Amino acid sequence: MEKNNKIYFYPVWLRIWHGLNAIGIIALSITGYSMQSGVESSFIEFSTAVSVHNVAGVLVTLSYLLYLAGNLFTNNGKFYIVKPKGFLKRPMKQARYYIYGMFKGEKAPYPLSKNRKFNPLQKYTYIMVMYIVLPLTIFTGIALLFPELIIEEVYNLSGIFLTAVFHTALGFFIAIFLIIHLYIASIGKSPAENFKSIVSGWHHV
């Protein structure tokens, strides 16, 4: 759908998911960091942080199921298809634009259109985060919620400890991604334009 140089990129279900996911990830990041500080030095009361973290984890898990269903049963899934030709060349070209070309006033190498919602670098990153990192974070989080599911020992190391370390590393990666995501969303003629589009559903091209 297109009108007045705007494309309807974000249907209602996607905006709902985006909002729920954002709230959940922010809550998980804050409470997760607080929990890592330890019981005594935690800036949020430890038991409260654990409870909020668990609830936010359930929220993110349920919203992720909405995301998967939306991509499976709507046209939104087509934006995540990667073409083999130029697999490495395209993201490198986009990275050069972000690092150099953007500051020299060059045109974006992959402008958005009704058939292109993401530039190559965004597409690859979103696929990695949404189809690899986030599912692993959810699985390890469920395992920590139900520790009886975890193997007791792996090479004489506690299975729970290894799962917790892996879960924390994945969570840290997602937190860094969120910061970069917010920065990239602010790039454009109007820093607020991309944030408005996720509310209205219409993206200005």
pTM, rounded to two decimals: 0.88
Q: Parse the chain into domains and list their residue ranges.
A: 2-204
- Residue 186: the pLDDT is 82
CATH topology of domain 2-204: Fumarate Reductase Cytochrome B subunit (1.20.950)
Torsion of CA 167, 169, 171, 174, to 10 degrees: -140
Paired with 116 in beta bridges are: 113
Helix (H, G, I), strand (E, B), or coil: what is residue 188? coil
- 177-196 pLDDT, tens digit each: 999 998 888 876 666 777 88
Paired with 203 in beta bridges are: 7
Q: What is the DSSP letter of 82?
A: -
Residues in the chain: 205
- 12-64 pLDDT, tens digit each: 999 999 999 999 999 999 999 999 877 777 788 998 999 999 999 999 999 99
